């Protein structure tokens, strides 16, 4: 991936995070992603979004809303 493409991805998604998962979880994520025709990254971003919606930041006002994961990539 060239620098311009990387720069565009950073603008679209923000900072990169690296996590390790078990082989079983990885396989499950791949099945879910394939079933929904999305990337594993999209599934993980969606899971993080759902988790953060259930555990709101106590410093955030009620009028501030987290944008949902709508991009399919």
Q: Judge whether residue 65 has pLDDT over 60.
A: no
Say if 6 falls within a structural domain: no
Query: pTM for the complete prediction?
Result: 0.65
Q: How confident is the model at residue 12 (pLDDT cuts 50, 70, 90)?
A: confident
- Residue 71 confidence (pLDDT): 52
For the segment 18-28, the average pLDDT, to the nearest whole number, is: 97
Model confidence over 43-58: pLDDT tens digits?
A: 999 999 999 999 987 7
Lookup: tokens for 41: 């990254």
Say if 26 falls within a structural domain: yes
1 vs 41 pLDDT, higher one: 41
Number of domains in the chain: 1
Say if 23 falls within a structural domain: yes
Its domain, for residue 31, covers 18-57
């Amino acid at each position: 991936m060239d620098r311009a493409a990387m720069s565009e991805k950073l603008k679209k998604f923000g900072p990169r995070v690296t996590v390790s998962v078990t082989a079983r979880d990885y396989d499950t994520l791949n099945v879910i992603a394939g079933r929904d025709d999305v990337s594993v990254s999209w599934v993980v971003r969606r899971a993080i979004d759902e988790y953060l919606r259930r555990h709101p930041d106590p410093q955030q006002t009620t009028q501030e809303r987290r944008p949902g994961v709508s991009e399919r990539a």
